[in-house]
């Protein structure tokens, strides 16, 4: 699979298939869909696409409610906040953006990465988002101000996945080269580095109490 800027991407389609809601296909993106995420109440789903947009879908109506435009290049990832209403997107345009469901313009634009922002994740308190980039770094951003609060360096390839611990003190990042790193949010220090995967780490999740 390929993308703008020569980026390798997971296989993607231009429609969403929702098995839990019968066999509905939600069509609207003008190109591949790179990421989807449910709202906490499972009434809505967000999708991020190569057409530079994020879309909001109502699962009961099986309809596209809103098209969020603002990114200048493909949107690689989208995540809804743990409390709903707000969501964050990550793009080839080197920015992450925070949005509200009922506003078509972004509330915050997080700029600072030197290349694609490939993944985004919410802190459990909803006050921060973390981003991973092709520039091999992870950043922690204040949602209220849009400022970068922490910079995590140590990866040797593109950061493809992120997870924040349920307790809110830890961060895990997975990279193109198959490595995983664990970080302390308070000090920005790397706590552990793990390897074993023979390909990119596309997804991460904490178990238990985190």
* Structural domains of the chain in order of their starting residue, each with its CATH number: 4-194 (2.130.10.10)
Average pLDDT over residues 141-145: 98
Which range among 10-14, 48-52, 156-160, 195-199 shows the weakest confidence by mean pLDDT? 10-14
DSSP helix, strand, coil percent of the chain (3-state; round to 5): 5, 50, 50
Q: CB–CB of 174/160 below 8 Å? A: yes
Instruction: Please say if the pLDDT value at position 116 is more than 80.
Output: yes
pLDDT the model gives residue 208: 74
pLDDT the model gives residue 3: 39
CA 184, 144, 148, 103 dihedral sign is positive
Greatest alpha-carbon pair distance for the chain in Å reads 47
pLDDT digits (tens, 9 = 90+) for 35-45: 999 999 999 99
pTM: 0.89
- Cα–Cα dist 103/28, whole Å: 19
- Cα–Cα dist 68/48, whole Å: 10
Mean pLDDT across the chain: 92
| pLDDT tier, 16 (very low <50, low <70, confident <90, very high otherwise) | low
Instruction: Please say if the pLDDT value at position 177 is more than 90.
Output: yes
Report DSSP state, residue 44. Answer: E
Which range among 13-22, 50-59, 104-113 shows the weakest confidence by mean pLDDT? 13-22
DSSP line for 58-77: ETTTTEEEEEEE--SS-EEE
Instruction: Please say if the pLDDT value at position 10 is more than 70.
Output: no
Instruction: Please say if the pLDDT value at position 209 is more than 80.
Output: no
Average pLDDT over residues 25-32: 94
Q: Which two tokens stand for residue 7?
A: 């980026």
Q: CB–CB of 54/87 below 8 Å? A: yes
pLDDT the model gives residue 23: 67
| pLDDT tier, 94 (very low <50, low <70, confident <90, very high otherwise) | very high
């Amino acid at each position: 699979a390929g993308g703008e800027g020569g980026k390798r991407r997971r296989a993607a389609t231009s429609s969403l298939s929702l098995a839990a809601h019968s066999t509905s296909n939600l069509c609207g993106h003008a190109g591949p869909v790179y990421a989807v995420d449910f709202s906490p109440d499972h009434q809505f789903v967000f999708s991020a696409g190569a057409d530079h947009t994020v879309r909001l879908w109502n699962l009961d109506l099986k309809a596209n409610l809103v098209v969020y435009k603002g990114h200048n290049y493909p949107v690689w990832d989208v995540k809804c906040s743990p409390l709903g209403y707000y969501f964050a997107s990550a793009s080839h345009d080197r920015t992450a953006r925070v949005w509200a469901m009922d506003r078509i313009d972004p509330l915050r634009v997080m700029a600072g990465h030197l290349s694609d922002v490939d993944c985004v994740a919410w802190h459990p308190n909803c006050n921060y988002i973390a981003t991973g980039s092709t520039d091999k770094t992870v950043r922690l951003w204040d949602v209220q101000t849009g400022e970068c609060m922490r910079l995590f360096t140590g990866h040797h390839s593109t950061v493809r996945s992120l997870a924040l611990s349920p307790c809110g003190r830890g961060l895990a990042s997975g990279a193109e080269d198959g490595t995983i790193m664990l970080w302390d949010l308070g000090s920005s220090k790397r706590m552990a580095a793990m390897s074993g995967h023979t390909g990119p780490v596309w997804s991460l999740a904490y178990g238990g109490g985190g």
